[in-house]
Structure formats: structure tokens, C-alpha cells
Amino acid sequence: MSKKVYTVPWVDDVHFSILYDEHLHQETSPFQTIDFYKSETFGTFFTLDGLMMVNEKDEFIYHDMITHVAFAVNPKIENVLIIGGGDGGTAREVSRYSHVKQIDMVEIDERVVRLSQKYLPITAEKLDQDARINLYFEDGLAYVKNKAAKSYDLILVDSTDPIGPGEGLFTKDFYDNCARALTDDGILINQHESPYFESYAHEMKRAYQKIKSTFPIQAVYQFHQPTYPSGHWLFGFASKKYHPLQDHKPEAWEAFNLKTKYYNSDLHKGCFMLPTYVKEALENE
Ligand code: SAM
């Protein structure tokens, strides 16, 4: 059977394409269009409004890096909030820490969760298997606004880009409410876009400045995500107390004995060492 083409513009004149064997599912929810495909190289993958979200081949990179950096800085994290993350991969990684007591996941679109449970068990299987995971289907901005102060040790913002439903998750109002909902030694990790293509770098800089005006300690770390625009992607690290390098506790993290395919203690140090053009882009506002 001839293969069909999934293609997405990274920027107007740069497109990324995958030949797929099967278009498993398509539907439009109240929030976005959801498509699931199956391909030889990337396995099952899904897109939201045509943008690559998660695939079986490189999901381990994103989910390792959004989760383990914070636990290697504060190994005592017990109460975790995940904003977005409907595919379940971030909740899966957090659930590997047996001392974690509570994992609240606030996903705006229930259909992303239910379809991921059907087509992407590699990331979604834990969502209804771990009693510590509480699913809330609502807007993350509204959720943190209504949340009591000092409720969480860690907030992981596993969101889409700052367009459509994800826009509110890149606002000063959102970051302020995250700071309020975090304990005094709380850590915020957020999807921080990319420095390479101008349109993504613009959002990267805007988020950086807003977080900088909200948290006393803030840094950005990088990872290689092959199926995201340019493959060079970032997470933000923000905290009221902990510095990601000065408070790095590799021995304590190693003692968890977690096998990880991407994250390790050396990479923890390296991922905060940003290229010159990225440092300059972030600092020269
Ligand atoms: N790794 C992906 C990325 O970097 O683009 C994100 C994966 S995850 C599937 C993103 C999730 O954020 C989606 O399921 C989407 O529905 C959810 N989302 C978007 N806006 C949201 C909001 N305001 N509140 C809660 N969840 C939201």
C-alpha cells in the first residue's frame, strides 16, 4: 500500500514530513483537531492542529528532561502538578518516584487523554493505573488561579505552543499564580519553546522575561527533540530557593536507581550550558 505524507511547516519555507502507513484517527474537539498516525520510523504519533506532539521514537527525550532535572535538585518533592501533558508521558515519569504522594494532572482536552490511552499506551498506560494520579479536565490557568497557596513542590507545564488553548499558559498571570501555588522551595518547569527559528525564539524571549520578573531564580536548559521545529528545544527552570546547578544533588538522584534513556547527571550539568546566540537572545531584551 502506497504511503501518504504528513507534513507540517516549521516556518513558511521549511517543512517537516513523515511518510505514514496509517491515519489511525482524526477528530475535532472543542479545543483542537487531534490526529493519530502510524509510521515506520516514528511508530505511532499524534498531532494537535497539525503540530507534532508526541511520537513513540523520541518521546523519552522530552519526558526525561521535563521530569528528572527537578528531582535531581530537590529529591524530596512529594506534591506534583502537571499542566497539560494529556499523552501521559510526564505523569509516567513522575510516577516512577515511589515517594511522590500526589500527581494532579490538569489537561484542558479530555479527548487527548482518552485517545492517547487507546493509541499510545507507551505514554498513557499509567494514567488509570496509579492511584496517586488525579485527572482534572479544565484550563490550567483557571486551575492554578483557584488553587490554594503553597500547594505544590513541583509544577510541570507540559503545554502546547502559546497559540490557541495554550496561550494562557505563557502569561504573566499564569506564572504569578504558579509562584503562589508553589511551596517556598517549589520548582516550576515549563515548555520554553526554541531559539532557532525567529517565530519560536520570539515566544522563548517573551516567556523568559515574564518568568524572570516572577521568580528570584531562573534558568533555561536545552535538549535535542528531533521532531520539533529545528530539533533544538528548551525547558525553563524557575524556583524561589533552589538553583539548578548550585543545588544539583547527583548522588541523591542516582540513589533513586531509575534507568533513564536520555537524562543523566553529567547531562544535567551540560544542558544548562547554552550556546552564545541563545544566551544573548535571552538576555538582550
Ligand atoms: N510535548 C508537547 C509540546 O511540547 O508541544 C506537548 C504535549 S501535551 C500533549 C500538550 C497538552 O497541553 C495538550 O494535550 C493540550 O490539550 C494541553 N493544553 C493546551 N492548553 C491547555 C490549557 N490551557 N490548560 C491545560 N492543558 C492545556
pLDDT confidence band for 28 (50 / 70 / 90): very high
Q: In this predicted structure, what is the pLDDT of residue 284?
A: 79
Q: Is 266 among the residues known to form the active site?
A: no
pLDDT at 122 over 90: yes
Stretch 8-22: mean pLDDT: 97
Q: In this predicted structure, what is the pLDDT of residue 164?
A: 87
Q: Is the CB–ligand 1 distance for residue 84 below 6 Å?
A: yes
Q: Is the CB–ligand 1 distance for residue 231 below 6 Å?
A: no
Q: In this predicted structure, what is the pLDDT of residue 257?
A: 98
Cell of 135: 485527572
Stretch 42-51: mean pLDDT: 98
Which of 58, 64, 153, 158 is flagged as catalytic? 158
- Reported as a single tens digit per residue, the pLDDT across 212-229 is 999 999 999 999 999 999
Strand partners, 271: none
Q: In this predicted structure, what is the pLDDT of residue 2?
A: 78
Pocket test for ligand 1, best of 45, 105, 120, 159 (most atoms within 8 A of CB): 159
Residue-wise burial string across 164-184, b where 16 or more C-beta atoms lie within 10 A, e elsewhere: ebbebbbeeebbbbbbbbbbe
Q: In this predicted structure, what is the pLDDT of residue 285?
A: 60
How far does the centroid of ligand 1 lie from the alpha carbon of residue 87, in Å?
A: 9
pLDDT at 198 over 90: yes
Confirm if 242 and 73 have CB atoms less than 8 A apart.
yes
How far does the centroid of ligand 1 lie from the alpha carbon of residue 106, in Å?
A: 9
Stretch 126-140: mean pLDDT: 98
- Reported as a single tens digit per residue, the pLDDT across 229-256 is 999 999 999 999 999 999 999 999 999 9
- Reported as a single tens digit per residue, the pLDDT across 155-197 is 999 999 998 889 999 999 999 999 999 999 999 999 999 999 9
Please report, rounded to a whole number, the percentage of residues in the chain having pLDDT higher than 70: 99
Cell of 85: 501533558
Stretch 79-101: mean pLDDT: 98
Q: Is the CB–ligand 1 distance for residue 62 below 6 Å?
A: yes
**What does the angle CA 181 – CA 187 – CA 190 come to, to the nearest 5 degrees?**
90
How far does the centroid of ligand 1 lie from the alpha carbon of residue 193, in Å?
A: 13
Q: How far apart are CA 152 and CA 80, in angstroms?
A: 6
pLDDT higher at 40 or 2: 40
pTM for the model: 0.98
Stretch 49-74: mean pLDDT: 98
> Lowest-pLDDT range, 44-48, 103-107, 164-168, 181-185?
164-168
Q: In this predicted structure, what is the pLDDT of residue 1?
A: 63
Chain mean pLDDT for the chain: 97
Q: How far apart are CA 241 and CA 258, in angstroms?
A: 25
How far does the centroid of ligand 1 lie from the alpha carbon of residue 162, in Å?
A: 10
